[in-house]
Chain A
Amino acid sequence: MRTHLKLGVAAAALALVVTGCSSDDDGGSSSEVDVKANEDCATRTEEARDAGDLTEVSLQLQWVSQAQFAGYYAAVAECFYVDEGLDVKIVEGGVDIVPQDVLASGDVDYAISWVPKVLGSIEQGAGITNVAQIFERSATTQISFKDKDITAPADLKDKNVGSWGFGNEWELFAGMQSAEVTVEDINLVQQAFDMNAFLAGDIDAAQAMTYNEYAQVLETVNPDTGELYTPDDLNVINWNDIGTAMLQDAIWATTEKLSDPDYEEQTVAFIKASIKGWAFVRDNPEEAATIVAESGSELGQSHQLWMANEVNKLIWPSTNGVGVIDEAAWAQTVDIALNTQNETGATIITEEPPSTAYTNEYVEQALLELEDEGVDTLGADYEPIDVTLQEGGK
């Protein structure tokens, strides 16, 4: 009898714990980011929401919350979207979430994704359009320790070359192809999320985003010196310099819906407020990093700030105004997508993308409106800040 009583108590306690956890959530989707707005903006958002002045708009990110997307977070936190009559919900990505698929299936209104990844989807029938090319430059690099002496794509020959694959490898392969290094000439190593294989020497030249993995290396103690690694320890092959850079983060919209005047107007408003958000990140990188951190990013503080600063460098200074798709850069991306083969001999696309794949119509209108408001969309005198990374990115 007594054992039964004890069992009953234990079972009841367990049931309490379990139901307690599941009743924690308030019913809303946790993939939606709760962006911490400043007090003034939070009240304004509430009021506008209650008055029914806002149109709900959802944005699918390519990855989880991090400063790579700081501009959109800033636009929510600083009420730039609300000023345009938009109530923007940011939806985080995940390992198996393909933003362009989520957008094409109509679950969200806009998505952030890299151009080469989307070109493949478009060829397979996804009806989506690049309406603003936020990142002008590519952040993908191939890094190596100085003693490996890898300074150009030709030096990759006979080396262990790391790549994440899954559509992240094209700039590397195009760069190698330009130096007449074939995939057979290198030992291609599948790279993980972390840089341990690179630090352990299993990978000679590792793929690294300037805003993330490069910093991960610089946050690690060099066992030889007892200090953190420094940029002097590394050689960097930057695909922007080699000429095989491809366009990265862009805002994508649903092609079909762009024939609807309401959606068109909303698209202009969305781009406009997003660019305003990015201008805020340019002028206030520290504050922007804090906004992202408070919205649930788990990255360390110095790593977050580093990322905000590096992402700024991809956007600012802007040649034609943020978001404008440069024809030459687009052509280069398409050309690489058509003509570069990966290790299986496949190319991203087999024919030219349709003319609906991008348009400057909406971003140009957004830029005009921003100019009228006196927002600097070129950032001609932009200067990056100096970020000191801490061990482990803390």
Chain B
Amino acid sequence: MVPLWNRVRAVVLGLLGIAAVVATWDVYKAVGPAEGVLVGETRVLPRTTELAMPHSWEMLQRFSEPVTGLAGAPDAFDAVLDASLFSLGLAARGWLIGVVVGLALALLMSRLRIVESALLPWVILSQTVPLIAIAPLVRRWGSEIQIGGHVWSSEDSVAVIAAYLAFFPVAVGALRGLKSPDRTHLDLMRAYGVGWWRSLLTLRLPSSVPYLLPALRLAAASAVIGAVVAEVSIGLKGGLGRMVIDYAVAASGDPAKPWAPIFGAVVIGLVAAGAIGLLGLVLRPFRLTGVPS
């Protein structure tokens, strides 16, 4: 029954962690100075006014109130849930595209040295281009693309931007993993006269798993950020990014409201990371093969 106890303990500790954050928030709000803590001119701890820090229960309570005064307006909870699912869907699409592209690049680069020399600098360079410069370009170029009967939509633009962030850790991580098997193992494969494909499947891919899993998790987080930021950037309706802008208007008069989409983003980030955790469990049998250290 030890595993069960372990699991219970993990849940309890997790809940305690959340409770600690909430308690810190409210205790600081209660005892902290209204003007915050300043070192010289720089404010190192925030103001504790209602505007700057709503009570945790107010933010929670805000979820059960309607979004606007309009008749038939949904509760903030429903609105945030919808937006979260929308953004999560786009992030998942971006993640999938990113993983496929990243793996393909890694395979190419591990297969041919010259491709690695040619591509890797570009892969790294791609991440130095700011997202806000890419987003309008993707939307504009995308609008000129038509694949079969599918008309390019803004959702596609957001998914592509999310993929743009997500492919990088996968490409770099997978490349590292594919090159990780011991020299002796590779030599053994060669001695058996096994072809590239076979040694890829039996040796390189399994031994890349320990490198791949953190890369996939990083890609999931990047995809979520990419999706939300891209929504803000191109103003796509329906997701959390747009909700952040829309609710910012209420920051002064209804200070708890702008926090709602932020909690939504936290939750989908956790869900995305959790999903990769599940994937990790499936791939567990490979986790220890071929890791030299």
Contact = CB atoms under 8 A, between A and B. Distances in A.
A196 B278 contact: no
B234 A97 contact: yes
A17 B85 contact: yes
Nearest to A3: B281
B136 A392 contact: no
A27 B68 contact: no
A93 B235 contact: yes
The DSSP consensus for interface residues of chain A is loop
Contacts of A217: 252
A299 B246 CA distance: 7
Contacts of B234: 31, 94, 96-97
B154 A300 contact: no
Nearest to A198: B252
A59 interface: no
B52 interface: yes
Contacts of A391: 253-254
A10 B278 CA distance: 8
Interface in A93-108: 93-98, 101-102, 105, 107
Contacts of B232: 94-95
B135 to A, nearest CB: 5
Interface size class of A (residues with CB under 8 A): 35 or more
Contact of A220 (B89, B139, B252): B252
Interface in A60-99: 63-65, 92-98
Interface string B23-52: 000000000000000000000000101111
A28 interface: yes
Given A7-B282, A28-B153, A298-B243, A199 B252 contact: yes
B93 A22 contact: yes
A14 B232 CA distance: 26
Given A30-B238, A217-B252, A301 B233 contact: no
Given A219-B252, A220-B252, A394-B254, A196 B51 contact: yes
Interface residues of B, number: 54
A220 B154 CA distance: 35
Interface in A1-49: 3-4, 7, 10-11, 14, 17-22, 24-25, 27-31
A193 B249 contact: yes
A63 B90 CA distance: 22
A268 B2 CA distance: 78
A302 interface: yes
A163 interface: no
Contacts of A25: 153, 155
Interface in B44-94: 47, 49-52, 67-70, 85-86, 88-90, 92-93
Nearest to B246: A298
User: Which residue, B51, B93, B253, B282, has most C-beta atoms of chain A within 10 A?
Assistant: B253
A347 B235 CA distance: 29
Contacts of B49: 200, 223
B52 A200 contact: yes
Nearest to B229: A95
Residue of A11, A18, A20, A212 most packed against chain B (CB within 10 A): A18
A107 B93 CA distance: 25
A196 B252 CA distance: 6
A296 B237 contact: yes
A380 to B, nearest CB: 33
Contacts of A192: 248
A21 B153 contact: no
Contacts of B67: 298
Nearest to B158: A30
A393 B235 CA distance: 22
A63 B234 CA distance: 10
A137 interface: no
Interface in A166-215: 192-196, 199-200, 212
B143 A300 contact: no
B7 interface: no
A98 B248 CA distance: 21
B123 to A, nearest CB: 24
A183 to B, nearest CB: 20
A138 interface: no
30 contacts: A4-B282, A7-B278, A7-B281, A11-B279, A14-B278, A18-B92, A20-B85, A21-B86, A21-B88, A21-B90, A27-B150, A27-B153, A30-B238, A94-B242, A96-B136, A101-B136, A107-B140, A193-B245, A193-B248, A194-B252, A195-B252, A216-B249, A217-B252, A223-B50, A296-B237, A297-B246, A300-B254, A301-B68, A301-B70, A390-B69
Interface of B: 47, 49-52, 67-70, 85-86, 88-90, 92-93, 132, 135-136, 139-140, 143, 150-155, 232-238, 242-243, 245-254, 257-258, 275, 278-279, 281-282
Interface of A: 3-4, 7, 10-11, 14, 17-22, 24-25, 27-31, 63-65, 92-98, 101-102, 105, 107, 192-196, 199-200, 212, 216-217, 219-221, 223, 293, 296-303, 390-394
Nearest 5 CB-CB pairings of A with B: A94-B235, A21-B89, A392-B254, A194-B251, A219-B253
